[in-house]
A and B are shown apart, each in its own frame.
Chain A
């Protein structure tokens, strides 16, 4: 099987999300699917990796669909029932590198 390279993104929401990891994963996938369509969805294959707190989460996508994922994150204004905007704080090829380094907030404890 071909191994696809991945990209991990640290995302901050503008409002607090009152949903668990599964709900957020489903809402995020729905929002991306709505924006890129069924044909573009496979190139991105978004997946919620971890829910850090009510305003921060880590999402994974394919490297080839990274630009489209960034575009989708810019245009998402609603996740599930919550109205929110998304900021991409940092992105990296590994989770380890994402949690360290010059993030606006130190996430290394999570």
Chain B
């Protein structure tokens, strides 16, 4: 099975590193996928969901491809968007860098919320992807490390492998 990772635009020159770690290739922000800045330009893009006050419904109606929650508050809100995500065919992306950069009890809370969300998404058959979304080399992870994070979030081995393999189809430009 071929695994794909997604990274921020600052990692555009480090494609070789990802291939060395065992990925087939890496999807780079700006080249292979984009983040939607507003609902009007959401079609086919991914959205970083970082503020609880912002509604995801306009993004979903405008064809956003993937939702990337960033913190425990937005993860807590995901449950109410599950039906819309299923109806509009949006996917759920686990941002491993958010977990990596968290610390102590905040990380425990974040991972707990990710685990709850993952369980809901798996139950509703919504596609899940996991990506490092690395901004620098220290945030890059090998495929087996990303799979270990999936395991900690309640996914089995096959689901973890699928999450890594489907990154490309979930995030990249249509």
Contacts and interface: CB of A to CB of B under 8 A. Distances in A.
A70 interface: yes
Interface string A38-79: 000000000000000000000000000001101101110100
A4 interface: no
B138 A71 contact: no
Nearest to B148: A70
A83 B138 contact: yes
Mostly, the B contact residues are helix
Interface string B97-136: 0011100000100000000000000000000000000000
A14 interface: yes
Given A67-B148, A70-B148, A75 B138 contact: no
B151 interface: yes
Given A67-B148, A71-B149, A74-B96, A89 B140 contact: no
B142 interface: yes
Nearest to A83: B138
A71 B140 contact: no
Interface in B1-36: 20-21
Interface size class of A (residues with CB under 8 A): 10 to 19
A94 B101 CA distance: 33
Interface residues of B, number: 21
Contacts of A91: 144
B137 interface: yes
Given A67-B148, A75-B100, 19 more contacts: A14-B137, A67-B151, A70-B144, A70-B148, A71-B149, A71-B151, A71-B152, A74-B145, A74-B149, A77-B101, A84-B138, A85-B138, A85-B140, A85-B141, A87-B145, A88-B142, A89-B21, A104-B20, A104-B21
Interface of B: 20-21, 96, 99-101, 107, 137-142, 144-149, 151-152
The 7 A-B residue pairs with the shortest CB-CB distance, nearest first, are: A85-B138, A70-B148, A74-B145, A71-B148, A14-B138, A14-B137, A104-B20
